[in-house]
Amino acid sequence: DPRTPHKGAVALHGLLPSSKLITLKGANRHAVYGVYENTCVDDKVNRYLATGKLPANDQICSKQAG
């Protein structure tokens, strides 16, 4: 859903106590994994998919210079 604002993602995250939120600073869309070509986001998600282990804390990535 590309129209979901970040505050909506934060609100849902608050309802899911064991969830972790990855925020891409400066992104203007939702669901950036595999599409936005941000190695920080992609590496974090790939690590979870490979191991099944969530990071200890929420994660923040920066937009790559392009």
pLDDT in tens, 16-37: 999 999 999 988 777 788 888 8
Q: Which residue has the tokens 């106590």?
A: 17
Contact 63, 25 (CB under 8 A): yes
What pTM was computed for the model?
0.80
Strand partners, 59: 22
- Across the range 1-14, mean pLDDT stands at 81
Strand partners, 22: 59
Is residue 53's pLDDT more than 70? yes
